[in-house]
Amino acid sequence: MTAAAELYEPKLGALPTLTGTPTHYCAGCEHGTLTRLIAKAIDELGVRERTVMVSSVGCSVLAHEYLNVDAVQAPHGRAPAVMAGIKRVRPDLLTFAVQGDGDAVSIGLLELLNAANRGEPITVFLVNNAIYGMTGGQMAPTTPSGMVTTTTPAGRDPVTTGPPIDATRLVAAFESPAYVKRVFLPILPTPSPRVFNARGALEGAKAVRHAFEVQQRGGFAFVEFVSTCSVNWKLGILEAKRYAAEVLRPLFPPGLYRDRFAVEGR
């Protein structure tokens, strides 16, 4: 075990569905949080041995290095189609993808929306951090108007580039999806300097588990995690959390947008 892994393990504890490989995610990034929430849900449900994750393209491209499950790589944006192919021949398997906003909402919007409309029994976790992280901070489909990115140096102009796309409401516009939820994932500072509000992670843990349960019952499940990217936003970690709360949360309101099987009611 590397020194970094030793640091990681005692703090967070080993899970059978975590490989223990230290993640490459930047400090403060919610991708790492979500990775752990997924591993926890898979272990709780006892489905690791019949799970096949689909790796997308973006910061989540290496998620299969951290999650101890079988994995298949999808081309950029095509993860929902690859998952549909898996489930159509092997409905007994559980499949999911962690997609970024560029992957799911820009280059892969056709794949996402058509899978949603067919009600494919798959699970899409969208990490919306409003920017292309892996490629170094370019405008994403979810970038708020006015945000400076490397391809919108004067701030995103909605007149020429359109306003940010609300993926959750797009998915919820179809009748077929069984579970559509948006979670605000970042932990938030509180007035007390050593105390943080981690409600997002708790909500996220439930949403991940619900999304898998919905898939097991044959439904399409979509959870958007509003997240931060302090490095590419050029903000400190806590500044980025505050920015997300002030700008992204009103733009992408958290909430339950569809729950056909009433998994949250029980």
Partner 1 sequence: MSDVREFLKGNEALAYGALRTGLNAYFAYPITPSSEIPETLATEFARSTFPDFRTFLQAASELEAINMVIGAAATGAKAMTATSGPGFSLKQEGLSYAAGMELPLLVVDVNRAGPGLGNLGPEQTDYFQATRGGGHGGYPTLVLAPSSVPEMASFPALGFDLAFAYRTPVILLADAFLGQLKEDLVFPDVPSPSYDVAWAATGARGEARHVLSSLHLELADQSRHSRHLLDKRTRIAQREQRAEEVGTEDAEIVFVAYGICARLARRAVRILRSRSIRAGLLRPITLAPFPERRVRQLIEQGRRKFLVVELNAGQMVDDVRLAAGGAANVELLGEMGGLLPSSLDLVRAAEAMAR
Site membership for partner 1, residue 39 (CB under 8 A): no
Could you tell me which stretch among 59-67, 136-144, 145-153, 201-209 binds partner 1 (CB under 8 A)?
Answer: 59-67
Q: Considering only residues 5, 88, 175, 255, which one is a binding residue for partner 1 as defined by CB under 8 A?
A: 88
Please, which residue, 108 or 144, has the CB nearer to partner 1? Answer: 108
Q: Which of 39, 81, 207, 214 binds partner 1 (CB under 8 A)?
A: 81
Is residue 50 involved in binding partner 1 (CB under 8 A)? yes
Stretch that binds partner 1, among 73-81, 134-142, 171-179, 211-219 (CB under 8 A): 73-81
Q: Is 74 in the site for partner 1 (CB under 8 A)?
A: yes
In SS3 terms, the chain reads as CCHHHHHHHHHHCCCCCECCCCCCCCCCCHHHHHHHHHHHHHHHHCCHHHEEEEECCCHHHHHHHHECCEEEECCCCCHHHHHHHHHHHCCCCEEEEEEEHHHHHHHCHHHHHHHHHHCCCCEEEEEECCEECCCCCEECCCCCCCCCECCECCCCCHHHHCCCCCHHHHHHCCCCCCEEEEEECCCEECCCCCCEECHHHHHHHHHHHHHHHHHHCCCCEEEEEECCCHHHHCCCHHHHHHHHHHHHHHHCCCEEEEECCCCCCC
Least Å distance between CB 71 and partner 1?
5
218 binds partner 1 (CB under 8 A): no
Sole binder of partner 1 in the list 43, 44, 70, 239 (CB under 8 A): 70
Write down the least CB distance from residue 119 to partner 1, Å: 13
Closest residue by Cα to residue 77 from 53, 49, 97, 51:
97
Can residue 157 be called a binding residue for partner 1 (CB under 8 A)? no
Please give the C-alpha separations between residue 164 and each of 98, 139, 173, 186, 204, in angstroms, as whole numbers: 20, 10, 17, 20, 23
**For the chain, what's the residue count?**
266
> Which residue type sits at 9?
E
Contact between 68 and partner 1 by CB under 8 A: the answer reads: yes
Residue from the set 9, 45, 48, 119 that interacts with partner 1 by CB under 8 A? 48
Applying CB under 8 A, among 55, 142, 149, 228 the residue interacting with partner 1 is 55
CA distance 26 to 17: 21
Minimal distance, residue 26 CB to partner 1, in Å: 16
Binding to partner 1 in span 103-132, by CB under 8 A:
110-111, 114
Cα separation, 68 vs 26, in Å, equals 21
Window contacting partner 1 (CB under 8 A); options: 42-50, 147-155, 164-172, 228-236: 42-50
Residues touching partner 1: how many (CB under 8 A)?
33
Q: Is there binding between residue 84 and partner 1 (CB under 8 A)?
A: yes
89 binds partner 1 (CB under 8 A): yes
Q: Which residues bind partner 1 (CB under 8 A)?
A: 48-52, 54-55, 61-62, 64, 68-75, 78, 81-90, 93, 110-111, 114
